[in-house]
Structure formats: structure tokens, C-alpha cells
Amino acid sequence: MLLRHTELARRSPATPEGRAILLHAIAHIEFNAINLALDAVWRFDGMPGAYYLDWLRVAAEEATHFNLLREHLRTHGHDYGDFPAHQGQWTMCEKTQDDVLARMALVPRTMEARGLDATPQIQRKLRQVGSPDALAAVDILEIILRDEVGHVAIGNHWYRWLCTRQGLEPEAHYGVLARQYEAPRLKPPFNDAARRAAGFTDTELLWLQQG
């Protein structure tokens, strides 16, 4: 069942069911990410061959993430589809279906980059729980975080490549696209180290902090 994100159950990791709901939500994000990467391949023609290879690799890695999370859920008596989910990422995919520049700016660099910020916070909560299943989830999230830095870096690379091709200044034009497509305004805390590793500049990080 798909709901608005405000209608979803709270995902506190303090109980086994809460951890299952939390990890199910992350599994749904990873499932969407597979389709987002494949949509970027299928929808936009005229890009260099490396663009398509990059997003096919992303899709494969997102599938690995989804399978790790699904197996974890199954091990603990649940499965993907047992809980409601939301379509926040896919909504932005639909909004940017006619503009590859907007897609690169607002899906990998905005929606998916949010995972770089959120994952360490989730890991801290799971470590505080300290149960074997919570610590196993921490390890899965570490794999996901490592790979997501690379995925966001790919989005950054192709966003800047497209800006150069169109004679646009990347940092300034991002704000134009964010307003045009009504991208969510991200709130701190931000994982500056992961964002820098993924190719965000100091100017972009300052823009985020200014809200």
C-alpha cells in the first residue's frame, strides 16, 4: 500500500516491529532507486555511452541493497510489501521526465543524497538498541552508504557535464531547478564528509546550511 509520507507509521527502532518498519521503508527506497536508475537509462537518449554504463551499474548496486534488506526482513519474519510505503522519490522522477538536466539535479543530487545525511543517524539509533538484528542492519547500511556516495557522485558528474554542455553555471542553476520543480528544501544535519566525497562543493554545502 502506498501512502503519503506523513501517513506512515513511526519507524522507531526500539522494538522489533519498529525496526522492521524502518528497514522496510529503506528497502522501498532502494527498490525505487533501481527503477530510477533504469528510467535514467531508458528515458534520455543522446547521452555519452558512459552515462548509460554508469546508471546500469547503479541499478545493479541498488538491487544488491534491496536484496540485502529483503533477506534481513525475511530472516526476522517479515518481507517486502508487509508494510505501507510512500512514493516521494518517484514523484520527482515523474516531474523531471522531460529534462535530463533536472533529473540529474533533483533525483541523485537531492532525493538520493538525502540518504547520505540520514543513514549515519539511523545507524546510531540501531547501535544504541544493540540487539543482533539491529547490529546486522548497521552493517547493511554501511554497505549502502558506501555505494550511495558513488551514486550521488555519478549524479553530480552528469549534472555538471550537462551544465557545461548548455553553458550554465551549476551552482546557480541548481537553485533555479529546485524552485521550478518544487524540490523539497533539505534540513540539517548534513553529512558534509560524505557529500564532499560525492562531489558537492563548499559553496553548495553552505547553501544547504543556510536553508
Q: What's the pLDDT at 209?
A: 86
Q: Where are the domains of the chain?
A: 5-209
The confidence score (pLDDT) of residue 190 equals 96
Q: Convert the pLDDT of each residue in 147-181 to its tens digit.
A: 999 999 999 999 999 999 999 999 999 999 999 99
Q: What is the pLDDT of residues 52-96, one digit of tens each?
A: 999 999 999 999 999 999 999 999 999 999 998 877 678 899 999
pTM for the model: 0.93
By the 10 Å C-beta count (0-12 exposed, 13-18 middle, 19+ buried), 151 is classed as buried
Q: What is the CATH number of domain 5-209?
A: 1.20.1260
